[in-house]
Amino acid sequence: MRAIMQGLTDAEFERLYGTEGSCLAAWVKVRQGAGMPCPRRGNPKSYDYDRRIGCTRCDMRWSITSGTVMADTKLPLTT
Ligand SMILES: [Zn+2]
């Protein structure tokens, strides 16, 4: 995460991303900015569904953290 947030001081980072809620929102933005294609068909169109991503085409839903280092951890996103 830090590398993505270049230019922010630690204080700014904490203020903007210090809570899991805002961290998650930032994370969603990052993942969507990087593209979150459907793992089933590669459909690039997806939507937010709570903490998950949904495919607009086949309605498959998957975890926002799947395919990342966060996928196998239950730690808070702020860790
Ligand atoms: Zn799909």
Residue 70 has pLDDT above 60, yes or no: no
Q: What is the pTM of this model?
A: 0.38
User: Ligand 1 centroid to 20 CA: how many Å?
Assistant: 27
Residues 6+ apart with CB under 8 A from 33: none
User: Which single residue is written with the structure tokens 């991303």?
Assistant: 17
**What pLDDT digit, counting tens, does each position of 1-52 carry?**
555 556 767 777 677 666 666 666 776 676 666 566 777 777 878 787 777 8
Q: What are the φ/ψ torsions at residue 14 (nearest 5 degrees)?
A: -60, -40
Per-residue confidence (pLDDT) for residue 32, from 0 to 100: 60
Domain ranges of the chain: 10-63
Residue 60 has pLDDT above 70, yes or no: yes
User: Ligand 1 centroid to 10 CA: how many Å?
Assistant: 38
Q: Name which of 18, 17, 74, 79 is nearest 51 in CA terms.
A: 74
